[in-house]
A and B are shown apart, each in its own frame.
Chain A
Amino acid sequence: MNSRIQTTVKKTDALRIKSLGKSYADLDALEPLDLTVAHGESIALVGHNGSGKSTLLRLLAGLLEASSGTARIMGHPIGTVGARAALSFIPDDPVLYDDLSVREHVEYISRLHGGPGCDAVAEALIEQLGLGHRADDLPTRFSRGLRQRTSVLVAFSRSFDVLLVDEPFVGLDAAGKATVLELFKSANERGAAVVVATHEEQYVARVSRCVALRDGVLVHDGPATPDDVVRLVS
């Protein structure tokens, strides 16, 4: 089982967003919004296509530059070294090196984050994600599902306090979904805040808080049942 998640004593919120917005010329992709996420909290981020879910996650990951507002990850402004150390992001499109095997990915990413590399814990994680028999293979030869599993593996092979995930279940089979859900749960239990953009019923049913966006505007922040989610995204 993974034990990379940092479990330090936390005094600040895991994630604090103030008036964070993003616009492209005359198009507002995300209206300024406020949001606070506590340690160990699990959130489902929902919304129809183009509602701004990916934009919000990519802003927090430091891949996009905000047009307005600020956000802090574990008290560090987004994009800074502290925030990058605390945050792990699983994008909707797995971005992997063409010339590194699964195991080499883990070795590289873990060490970039000051970790031990591909040690026994990482090997266990590889097995848990069902990648043991392909660990020395190149992800370029993988199916979409296996690439997605590798992307999840890479994100969990380093320490983090906040996990941001964009549509993690795309391309995964039932076993893969179950494993990923298990990993999110263990991350929560160890104190990490987990924000997942998904409409997956199994995940939505488990979380206590749902954040919904519509046309870049925050329209709901609180508990929601799967039926509520259907209503919010329709």
Chain B
Amino acid sequence: MRDTDSTAALVELRNARKRVRTANIDWVDAMYRAYILTIVGVVAVIVASGYVGDSEVSAQGLVDFREYAPAAIGLLGAVAMAIGLRSGARGGPLALEAADVRHVLLAPIDRGRALRGAAFRQIRHASLGALAVGAIGGQLAARRLPGNPIAWTLCGAAVTLLAALAAVGAGYVAAGRRWSGRLVNLVALAIVAWSTADLAAATATSPLDLLGRLALWPLHVDLLAIVGIVVTLLVPLAGIRFVEGLSIEAAERRSALIGRLAFAATLQDLRTVLVLRRQLAQEHARRKPWALFVPGARRWPVWGRGCRGVLRWPAVRWVRVLVLGACAGAATAGIAEGTTPLVVAAGLAMYIAGLDSIEPLAQEVDHPSRTDGFPVVRGAVHVRHLAVSGVVMTISSLVGLGVAVALRPQISTLGVGAVTVVTATIGSVAGAAISTIAGPPDQISSWAIGAPEIAGMHTIVRLLWPPALCTIGFVPVIVATRLAADHRPTVNSTTATSALLVLMLEVGMIAWVYAREPVLANIRASFDSFGKAA
């Protein structure tokens, strides 16, 4: 048997499959999707432009931008590369078809040839997304910065393209060279730390920061950026070279999970997406808990069960929840400095952390037949689970408060922050809880099969309300910022009233967790009796 014959068969069959797929595309549907995507994209750019504003930055702002922007852009690239590396340690970012792993990778053909096609396809998709994001970023920059708008757009697109290539390529290198999780973490940490140090020192020495200088070419052509371009281009080239070393074990595990993940995402089944993502990241519960003693476990079994679950969290989940709390804290400091849109970032960070913290409740919701056997109302069990989640989110919020105070060391930060810790914590727990108990959308419910406009609105509300509730938890900070702008005390009756209103809403949502099932059952019964009467 000749390898060229097998490879020719592989290429021929893949092309045939591609032709069949292309022939099966519903072009009207595809064009409709492109149309919707374009509208959403344009609206997003307009909204973002509104926040960025149209006035040119001040002279001092321009000096600061020149000084810090390369390192800040480099840091974003470093984080992307770190994510790519971590994915590589688990066999990513390549996601192969399960049947390809079994039949193609186990066939006696050159694995490099078999895998490079898939790698190039992935790089192509990543590049398209990166180009779009970079071009939009360049457009937004051009509105406030001097220089040619086309140059900003092109440079922005080039930087994000190269950063994306480096991130994907780094993943291929880590996967192909079979780097261990420890080594990957070390390399990722070193890359991010280098860029962070550059940012703190207002310099740009790391390759990714040098690439960041390319983004500023419309202001000043810095030839050092070429070094960054060359170095970042070497990473994907190395990735393509080494991808053939991919572990079949990792590829098979990943292919099975990615397929299910994509299906769950299509059904907007957030809980399944979370569970599968944890499996993909090989984030398993510890066999030995961090601590054995759980106070009150005998008296309050639901509390005890929740604590035992949380005490088995792997370190990475604890780190994630705390880092998300820190991010929310940093965003809160930004809100206090006048960048109100950061409230969305803070809310999203708390929502994601909340979804992690709500795990004991989610486990209960996953298996409703278990709660059927409890001599307690199901809603009561659900609400009792929120206590553990509340403790976890309080710790996360306190980390956030620490970061906010560190970034903005003022007594008012501490005062407003203390109030916000309460509202943000309860908001994140309530948001995550209502998202979890709602479960995936019912594909045959009256909402889903109703008029498309109503079904669409219902879907949007379902998806957006939980994170919105988490975001509302930061309203006291916005109120305090407005008060500060009016030179009034930030912690006064207005702040307290706003916090109280937010708390009432959040407690109302927790009451909904308790009463959801009987209320929905009553509504259904009413509809049924109305239908019979009609």
Residues of A within 8 A of B (CB): 26, 61-65, 79, 81-82, 84-85, 89, 91, 95-100, 107-109, 111-114, 154
Q: Nearest-CB distance from A154 to chain B (Å)?
A: 7
Bound CA–CA A217/B397 (angstroms): 49
B98 contacts partner chain A, Cβ-Cβ < 8 Å: yes
Q: In the bound complex, what is the Cα–Cα distance between A91 and B252 (angstroms)?
A: 13
Cβ 8 A contact of B21, one of A99, A109, A111:
A99
**A contact face: mostly helix, strand, loop, or mixed:** loop
Contact of B97 among A26, A85, A97 (CB under 8 A): A97
Least CB separation from A111: chain B residue: B9
For residue B17, CB closer than 8 A to chain A, the reply is yes
A113: which B residues are within 8 A, CB to CB? 1, 6, 107-108
**Is B106 in contact with A61, judged by CB distance below 8 angstroms?**
yes
Partner of A84, one of B97, B98, B106: B106
Q: Do residues B249 and A112 form an inter-chain contact, with CB atoms below 8 A?
A: no
Question: How many contacts A-B (CB < 8 Å)?
Answer: 70
What are some 16 contacts across the A-B interface (CB < 8 A)? A62-B106, A63-B101, A63-B106, A79-B248, A81-B3, A81-B108, A84-B107, A84-B108, A95-B98, A95-B103, A97-B17, A99-B20, A108-B13, A112-B109, A113-B1, A114-B6
Neighbouring B residues of A26 by C-beta, 8 Å: 287
User: Whole-angstrom distance from the CB of B23 to the nearest CB of chain A?
Assistant: 11
Contact for B103 among A79, A99, A108, A114, CB less than 8 A: A108
The contact string, 1 if C-beta is below 8 Å from chain A, for chain B 1-41, is 11101100110110001001100000000000000000000
Q: Please determine whether A114 and B2 come into contact, CB atoms closer than 8 angstroms.
A: yes
Q: Smallest Cβ distance from A227 to chain B, in angstroms?
A: 36
Within 8 Å CB of A89, what residues of B?
106
Mark interface residues in B103-144 (1 if CB within 8 Å of A CB, else 0).
110111110000000000000000000000000000000000
Chain A residues, Cβ within 8 Å of B13: 107-108, 111
| A residues less than 8 Å from B3 (CB atoms) | 81
Nearest B residue to A96, CB-CB: B99
Nearest B residue to A85 via CB reads B108
List 4 other contacts, CB 8 Å, given A95-B102, A112-B104: A26-B287, A81-B108, A112-B6, A112-B109
* Chain B residues closer than 8 Å to A114, beta-carbon distance: 1-2, 5-6, 108
CB neighbours of A109 from chain B (8 A): 103, 107
Q: Does B247 contact A (CB under 8 A)?
A: yes
Measured CA separation A98–B103 after assembly (Å): 13
| CB-defined contacts of B249 to chain A, threshold 8 Å | 63-65
Set of chain B residues within 8 Å of A61, measured between Cβ atoms: 106
Residues of B within 8 A of A63 (CB): 101-102, 106, 248-249, 252
- Tell me whether A112 and B248 are in contact (CB under 8 A): no
Structural contact, B10 and A112, CB atoms closer than 8 A: yes
Closest to B109 in A: A112
- Nearest first, the 4 closest Cβ-Cβ pairs linking A and B are A114-B1, A111-B9, A85-B108, A112-B107
A97 to B109, CA, bound (A): 19
CB distance from B281 to the nearest CB of A (A): 15
Residue of A nearest to B98 (CB): A95
Contact assessment for B1 and A85 in the assembled complex, using a CB-CB cutoff below 8 Å? yes
A97 neighbours in B (Cβ, 8 Å) = 17, 97, 99, 103
Distance (Å) between the CB of A187 and the closest chain B CB? 18
Instruction: Enumerate chain A residues within 8 angstroms of B108, measured Cβ to Cβ.
Output: 81-82, 84-85, 113-114
Asked if residues B252 and A108 are in contact (CB atoms below 8 Å), the reply is no
The smallest beta-carbon distance between B287 and chain A, in angstroms, is 7
- Per the bound structure, the CA–CA distance linking A61 and B252 in Å amounts to 12
The distance in angstroms between the C-alpha atoms of A115 and B3, with both chains bound, is 11
CB-defined interface of B226-253 with A at 8 Å, one 1/0 digit per residue?
0000000000000000000001110010
* Distance to closest chain B CB from A28 (angstroms): 14
How far is B6's CA from A111's CA once the two chains are assembled, in angstroms? 6
CA distance A192 to B109 in the complex (A): 22
A56 to chain B, nearest CB (A): 14
For residue A84, which residues in chain B have a CB less than 8 angstroms away from its CB?
A: 106-108
Q: How far is the CB of B90 from chain A (nearest CB, A)?
A: 14
Complex CA distance for A162 and B122, rounded to whole angstroms: 35
**Which A residue's beta carbon lies closest to that of B108?**
A85
- B-chain residues with CB within 8 Å of residue A79 when the two chains form the complex: 248
A154–B103 touching, CB < 8 Å: yes
- Report the nearest A residue to B99, measured CB to CB: A97
Q: Which residues of A contact B103 (CB under 8 A)?
A: 95, 97, 108-109, 112, 154
Contact residues in B for A65 (Cβ distance below 8 Å) = 247-249
Q: In the assembly, what is the distance between CA of A65 and CA of B250, in Å?
A: 9
Question: Min CB distance, A142 to chain B, in Å?
Answer: 14
Residues of chain B within 8 A (CB-CB) of A100 are 17
Q: Kindly list chain A residues whose C-beta atoms are within 8 Å of the C-beta of B106.
A: 61-63, 84, 89
Nearest residue in A to B106 (C-beta to C-beta)? A84
- Residues of chain B from 201 to 219 with CB closer than 8 A to chain A in the complex: none
Chain B residues lying within 8 Å of A98, measured Cβ to Cβ, are 99
A82 proximity list for chain B (CB < 8 A): 108
Q: Which residues of B in the span 303-338 have a Cβ within 8 Å of any Cβ on A?
A: none
Whether the pair B98, A108 counts as a contact (CB closer than 8 A) is no
Instruction: Bits for B70-105, please: 1 = Cβ < 8 Å to A, else 0.
Output: 000000000000000000000000000111011110
Is the CB–CB distance between B248 and A111 below 8 Å?
A: no
Residues of A within 8 A of B102 (CB): 63, 91, 95
